[in-house]
Amino acid sequence: MTEGAYVPIEKVANHLCVTVHTIRSWVRQGNIPRNTYVKVGNTYRFSLQEVIAALTTNDGNMEDPVPETPGTEQDNQPVQLELNFDVDQDA
C-alpha cells in the first residue's frame, strides 16, 4: 500500500476482518483516533497504516498487540486484533 493513501471504510473493515459497523463503533468510541481518518460530509477515508498502528498500541484498550514484522509481504496481509470489551459498558 502506498504510504499516505486513504482508503474507504470497507477496505479497513475487510483488512481487519471485522464489519463496517464495528469500524464505525470504534470511531465513535475513540478506538480509532481522529488523526487516522478524514471525513468529508458522510464519507470517511482512513489511513490504514495509521489505524493499525493506533489499534495495536498498548494503551489499555488492547491485550497482546500484534508485533511488527519488517518486510513488505506482511503489509498486505489481514491483521487480527483482539480488543477487551466490557459487556455492560460496550453493549
DSSP 42-72: TEEEEEHHHHHHHHHS-SSSBSSPPPP--SS
Is the pTM for the entire model greater than 0.75?
no
- Express each pLDDT in 64-85 by its tens digit: 444 454 555 555 667 777 777 6
Q: Which residues of 54-75 are buried (b: 16+ CB within 10 A; e: fewer)?
A: bbbeeeebbeeeeeeeeeeeee
Write down the pLDDT at residue 57: 83
Three-state secondary structure call for residue 37: strand
Q: What residues make up the domain containing 60?
A: 6-66+78-84
Q: What is the mean pLDDT of residues 30-50?
A: 94
Number of domains observed in the structure of the chain:
1
Q: Is 82 exposed, middle or buried (0-12, 13-18, 19+ CB in 10 A)?
A: exposed
- Asked whether residue 73 is assigned to any structural domain, the reply reads no
Which tops the pLDDT comparison, 88 or 39?
A: 39
